[in-house]
Chains A and B, each alone.
Chain A
Amino acid sequence: MSSVPATRAAQSGLCLNVGGEGETPGCINQQPHWADLCNSVSRTGQPMRDLVRLGAVFLFCENVRLPFPDASVDQVVTNGVPIDRSTWLGPGVQSSEIKRVLKKGAIWLHDGVGAYTKP
């Protein structure tokens, strides 16, 4: 996965990369509790601790409950993460949460493709 360019929404408002590893500039990178920023390497090959040092913002919270009010996020990005399914690590990203936090008219980009626009 190459770096996904920040969109206009991400540049002008709140962009949330659910399961993000710093691959989309300008987004808050949400990670579940099992993520290890000290010892792991991102999908794009950078040590996670280097991403933090370079200014990437990480938010640790459970996938099943994103700590954002309804209709408060200008764009959601997901890249290479399980949607609506559990893995051996725990519950994956929940599409219901993504759709809840998106503002009206805001877009969910999944693997670089517009998957959903909030009506």
Chain B
Amino acid sequence: MNTFADLLTAKPPFDPADLQFRAQQSFPSRVSQSHLLMRKPCSPIPNTGIFVVIGAASYSPMELQLLDDVDAAHLNWHNQAQVAVFDVLDCQTTADFEKYLPGVGSVAQSPVVAIWEDGRLAAKQTGLRMVREVLQERHILS
């Protein structure tokens, strides 16, 4: 298993629910093999530098591909930013997002991204297209 997207690779026939469950279980391990950090609930936001948090759905191939793309672009950002990620399946209520993304408010769809600059929330966005645009603007994505 080399990529986030590999977590959901299957050959027919297969049980999608089982595949997704295994992807969720393997998500932290995959993060540890990448250049990304695992975002823990209630962890502090750094007071200095650029801190990016991405919440992605481990059941979505497109959102896992987003994480692969961010990881692949690490040479662009690793000197200027930290990028942490979490699985939105770890949020069972809207309020749970506050533990990962303090100050962001309600999240209507995934993925979600928030960017802090010197401890100040500078950007937030949801939905694949908008999240990609924000990350590209900040050179987190090529």
Give A contacts to B, CB under 8 Å: 1, 34, 36, 40-41, 43, 45, 78, 80-88, 95, 110-111, 113-117
Chain B residues within an 8 Å CB radius of A110? 10, 14, 16
A88 near B59 with CB under 8 A, answer no
Contact B17 A113 (CB under 8 A): no
Are A115 and B96 also in contact (CB < 8 A) when A36-B108, A87-B88, A88-B107 are?
A: no
Q: Are A88 and B17 in contact (CB under 8 A)?
A: no
In the complex, the number of residue pairs spanning A and B with C-beta atoms less than 8 Å apart equals 77
> Taking A40-B108, A88-B97 as contacts, is the C-beta distance between A83 and B59 under 8 angstroms?
yes
How many chain B residues touch A (Cβ–Cβ < 8 Å)? Answer: 32
By the criterion CB–CB under 8 Å, are A85 and B107 in contact?
no
Apart from A83-B20, A110-B14, list 11 A-B contacts with CB within 8 A.
Answer: A1-B61, A43-B62, A80-B60, A82-B20, A88-B91, A88-B107, A110-B10, A111-B8, A114-B12, A115-B12, A115-B13
9 intermolecular pairs with C-beta atoms under 8 Å apart: A83-B59, A85-B17, A85-B21, A86-B92, A87-B57, A87-B89, A88-B91, A113-B10, A114-B12
Chain B interface residues (CB < 8 Å from chain A): 8, 10-17, 20-21, 57, 59-63, 88-89, 91-94, 96-97, 107-109, 127-130
Q: Which residues of chain B come closer than 8 Å to A43, judged between CB atoms?
A: 60, 62, 128
| Neighbour of B57 across the interface among A80, A84, A115, CB < 8 A | A80
Contact, CB under 8 Å: A80 / B62: yes
Minimum CB–CB distance for B9 against chain A, Å = 9
Q: Nearest CB to that of B97 among chain A residues?
A: A88
The residue in chain B whose Cβ has the minimal distance to the Cβ of A95 is B17
